[in-house]
Amino acid sequence: MTGNPLDKLHDLAGFLESPDSLEYNLGHLVTLAADTLDAAHCSIMLQIEGDGEDLRLRVCATHGALPDVAFTQTVGRGEGIAGHVVASGVSLLVEDIEQSIFTDYARRPGANAHSLMSVPLSVNGKLIGVINVSEPNSRLPFIQTDLALLETVAFFVGKSIQVVQLQNLLNSRFAQIALAQEAEKAIGGVMLSTAYDTDKMARIVAKSFFREMTQAGFGSNQIIQAASEIISQLSTSLHKHSKRLDKS
């Protein structure tokens, strides 16, 4: 491994204070992760739909070339290498994929470097994706110390994702109003714990959205239309992001 890993981890830690978008941060984080592990390929896969047993992941950022299909397919629990890590919740180190149970999932069979690692990404203890690293530039297989380093990298990536989510949510005036209303009911440190639970914050905003529309006189059909528009905007955003990844 070239360079000082501690210096590279310091660069990763700097993203905890980054004000940029999640997409921008992921693009840089995946490159920093590859550089930190001195690997030719690195990808970050995040939850894009479902939850629990129905969770599905998709590649959201990558360093190094991947087949086109990698950007369009989704992966669930138990499906492929990433799905195996999602199902087990345990980091994976494969010294030689062609001599392992995952040989059918080798994306570049016959390549000179067959070693790979895959580590869960979590926010507040909830699994939200995985980070994959493959093909060490040294052409020597990854070892346990490399896996430990990638787990540290995954910690910073998870924290960076959480920070961006919180910044985006707290920058929303509607979210601020919703949280302020919730604060009136909260006592002690309830709101402090909520501020670090993005799922709970999202539920608070959703309830406030429903309450405000109801109080404004909108009927069920209009509320459903508004919710459908949000889903449509999300779908459009994911489609545009997928197209940008295809071009990269």
The amino acid that residue 13 corresponds to is: A
Token representation of residue 243: 């197209």
Residue-level pLDDT at 109 = 53
Q: 58 or 174: whose pLDDT is higher?
A: 58
Task: Name the band, by pLDDT with cuts 50, 70 and 90, for residue 12.
Answer: low
Q: Percent of the chain scored above 70 by pLDDT?
A: 60
Ranges 130-139, 153-162, 173-182, 213-222: which has the least confidence: 173-182
Contacts of 122 (CB under 8 A, 6+ apart): 128, 154, 158
Ranges 19-33, 58-72, 179-193: which has the least confidence: 179-193
What the chain holds in terms of domains, given with CATH numbers, is 5-162 (3.30.450.40), 169-238 (no CATH)
61 pairs with which residues across the strands? 44
Please give the Cα distance from 117 to 182 (Å, whole number). 42
pTM summary value: 0.66
Contacts of 92 (CB under 8 A, 6+ apart): 81, 84, 85, 117, 118, 119
- Summarised one tens digit per residue, pLDDT across range 97-145 is 888 888 877 666 555 568 999 999 998 788 889 999 999 998 899 999 9
Residue 188 has pLDDT above 50, yes or no: no
Mean pLDDT of 55-66: 87
Task: Name the band, by pLDDT with cuts 50, 70 and 90, for residue 187.
Answer: very low
Token representation of residue 11: 């660069």
Mean pLDDT of 9-33: 70
Please give the Cα distance from 200 to 101 (Å, whole number). 39
